[in-house]
Chains A and B, each alone.
Chain A
């Protein structure tokens, strides 16, 4: 009995010591709906949703993955963009960079609303999460979650878009994709 109580206390203490789980950044324990990691040697690796259609990008877009649905609209999609920096962004300046990214988005999305910006800490360093709603092309709203992740002289922007009404369905997927993003060396390690 005593051992049981002790075990419960230890478990409780450990759980309290852990950071509260982030709803928008965290890997799933055993994801069945995710593919194996895609590795871009010398750049990064990322795990993308299974059965989503991958579309190669161009210019500042690396790729897009789009959920396959029966309706022409109503699914979610993820896009990875990049911006080459003139100099690596000092981690201390991440908060200023968050403000800057937010301003840029507000300028690009005049119909957007409910903008929020947060600085989070990932495995490769601090990054910025910006969320906002924007009107869909047909009806309703999309929820946009943008992960701005500076890595060296690159600023990667992982942009996850889902119908606002079905956001909870996609949140774990987006959190896993974001958390799976990791810089890799030239050998892919």
Chain B
């Protein structure tokens, strides 16, 4: 049976009996052969050992650090007797097969070592060491046959074979140690990175340099390991905060900056001073200088706009102004259209006076006509006249019921709406009536006051104040009496 020997450093790590079954090698406890490596130089499933063409082949399982043989990374390697493959810090090599055992040889061809099944839970207590395979079932002996240990010659053969095997193994081992470099610089780097410089030096770096003193990778790793540890930085001296510049210093700097035409920066400094000392006259003066020297921003470049093209008034067009651009012309038309629409809206709401006023203003601005301005203006004016007539009627009704103030207001409103409305006579009539009634109320107030009927006197005098103008003598009397009565 073929046996794989696994070394770590000088120590034997494990012995694995190989069959024709593929064996997974890696750091994971799930692997068949577990190679613990806290530095992670060994991948979880680093490689497989396959039985191919009567020999065992170590195949890289897309590991990070790969399989190294004789200083070269290889994708696979046939595990021969004189081949040492490095997987991380481990070295794998085949042990020389023992003397042929008919039974074992037969079994080796036909039987597989059952895969070690790890129970779920924590890893096994042997720290990844490959567990021993289960005992094979023994083949019953045929009757009448003597076993080998029952024959003296058998023991002799066994002894000779054992000696031969031991000698061969030792020879192979020594040969491997001397002829094959056993260093692995990738593993060494992983060790160095993990801080295990001593082991890296012993196991890999020194052997590598022994094989090739100019190996740059090995030299670099050695330099890393032999470099003195970084000396701790001396404790930082207590920080000394530089004193803040005084206002005078800042202004001096600002003055220098102004002289150097770096006025924005100067202005920053000056503003800093003014923030703390708003009344600093020197800062104010320097600020004026700085502002003066800051060049005004360049005026925005004016896009060339074509000159206005006149649109007909019936379409809402206006007469273009001299040298007016199309953009300005359009804005002017939009503004006028908004006013026109607003006036039409007022007309629809029967706000004839406002509509007529706005439409009339538009007519003055656009004497040549504009949309349906003429018709709208006629409608508005007609509405205004109608409103004036209604106001006149309301005034007459108010006059009849003696509500002279309302009547006067309504007559005046009618005249304002329609200047052709004749309201002078009604207004004079109302004035006469008010004077007459006011006189009566004044007499009544005085008389009631004389009789001591003060409530009636107050009512009468208040009417006097409403009916008579302040120029009337009784107005003053009423006011005086009211004041007297309120006391």
Contact = CB atoms under 8 A, between A and B. Distances in A.
Nearest to A85: B450
Interface string A57-94: 00000000000000000000000000101111110110
Contacts of A93: 443, 446-447, 450
B447 A88 contact: no
B444 interface: yes
A93 B450 CA distance: 10
Interface in B439-487: 443-444, 446-447, 449-452, 454
A85 B450 CA distance: 5
Contacts of B447: 89-90, 93, 96-97, 100
Interface in A113-157: 155
Interface range on chain A (Cβ under 8 Å from partner):
10 to 19
Contacts of A96: 443-444, 447
B477 to A, nearest CB: 10
B450 A92 contact: no
B452 A86 contact: yes
Nearest to B481: A87
B449 A87 contact: yes
A86 B446 contact: no
A175 to B, nearest CB: 27
Nearest to B485: A86
A88 B443 CA distance: 13
B446 A90 contact: yes
B443 A86 contact: no
B437 to A, nearest CB: 14
A86 B444 contact: no
A105 to B, nearest CB: 14
B446 A85 contact: no
Contact of A100 (B449, B451, B452, B454): B451
- Of B444, B446, B451, most buried by chain A (CB within 10 Å of CB) is B451
B452 A85 contact: yes
A78 to B, nearest CB: 24
Nearest to B444: A96
Contacts of A97: 447, 450
A87 B450 contact: yes
Contacts of B454: 86
Contacts of A100: 447, 451
A87 B206 CA distance: 141
Interface string B387-408: 0000000000000000000000
A87 B485 CA distance: 12
B451 A85 contact: yes
A83 B452 CA distance: 10
Interface of B: 443-444, 446-447, 449-452, 454
8 shortest A-B CB distances, which residue pairs?
A86-B452, A87-B450, A89-B450, A85-B450, A93-B447, A96-B447, A96-B443, A93-B443
Given A86-B450, A90-B443, A93-B450, 5 more contacts: A89-B450, A93-B443, A93-B447, A100-B447, A155-B451
18 contacts: A83-B451, A85-B450, A85-B451, A85-B452, A86-B450, A87-B449, A87-B450, A88-B450, A89-B447, A89-B450, A90-B446, A90-B450, A93-B443, A93-B446, A93-B447, A96-B447, A100-B447, A155-B451
